[in-house]
């Protein structure tokens, strides 16, 4: 299911890069590898929130305010143990299908899927980062 959903996005991104005469970014190829191997991952943590008794209208920050930091903390914890994890949201386009597959109650919403496994290759290295100053706004957007 994940590979099928991500495959559409991947092909569109590769086509756009080719149209511009560029090579697809390495993070895109890394995600393609994840897509091709998602079914081989030994663990998938599905970070959820129970919305029972809560309105889905209005302020979403308070609804997701504990789930998202918990998922991030999980990722930091597994990395400290030498494991790799990735924050994925592609399956949120198929949230209802995933919820049925996992037999989640109707009030439970998925925030992220965190595949976890032993890393391939020679371990971790710093990721390429954009210039943070390009993303900072002072007083207005």
What integer pLDDT is reported at residue 1 of this predicted model? 66
Mean of the pLDDT values across residues 50-76? 85
Residue 63: C-alpha distances to residues 24, 50, 55, 90, 92 (Å): 36, 9, 9, 20, 16
Q: In angstroms, rounded to a whole number, what is the distance separating the alpha carbons of residues 131 and 59?
A: 30
Per cent of the chain over pLDDT 90 is 35
Residues in CB range of 128: below 8 A, 6 or more apart: 26, 27
- pLDDT category, 127, cuts 50, 70, 90? confident
Would you tell me how many other CB atoms lie within 10 Å of the CB of residue 43? 11
Per cent of the chain over pLDDT 70 is 94
Closest Cα to residue 118, out of 4, 46, 42, 53?
Answer: 42
- pLDDT category, 3, cuts 50, 70, 90? low
Indicate the SS3 state at residue 46. Answer: strand
Strand-by-strand arrangement of the 84-85 sheet: 43-50, 108-117, 84-85
Q: Which two three-digit tokens encode residue 120?
A: 């391939």
What integer pLDDT is reported at residue 79 of this predicted model? 93
**Which of 39-43, 51-55, 98-102, 113-117 is least confident?**
51-55
């Amino acid at each position: 299911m994940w590979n099928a959903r991500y495959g559409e996005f991947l092909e569109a991104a590769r086509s756009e890069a080719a149209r511009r005469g560029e090579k697809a970014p390495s993070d895109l190829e890394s995600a393609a590898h994840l897509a091709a191997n998602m079914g081989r991952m030994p663990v998938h943590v599905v970070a959820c929130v129970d919305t029972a008794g809560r309105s889905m209208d209005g302020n979403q920050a308070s609804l997701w305010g504990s789930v998202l930091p918990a998922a991030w903390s999980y990722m930091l914890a597994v990395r400290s143990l030498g494991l790799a994890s990735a924050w994925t949201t592609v399956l949120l386009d198929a949230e209802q299908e995933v919820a049925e597959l996992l037999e989640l109650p109707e009030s439970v919403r998925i925030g992220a899927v965190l595949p976890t496994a032993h890393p391939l290759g020679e371990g971790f290295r710093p990721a390429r980062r954009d210039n943070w100053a390009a993303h900072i706004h002072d007083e207005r957007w």
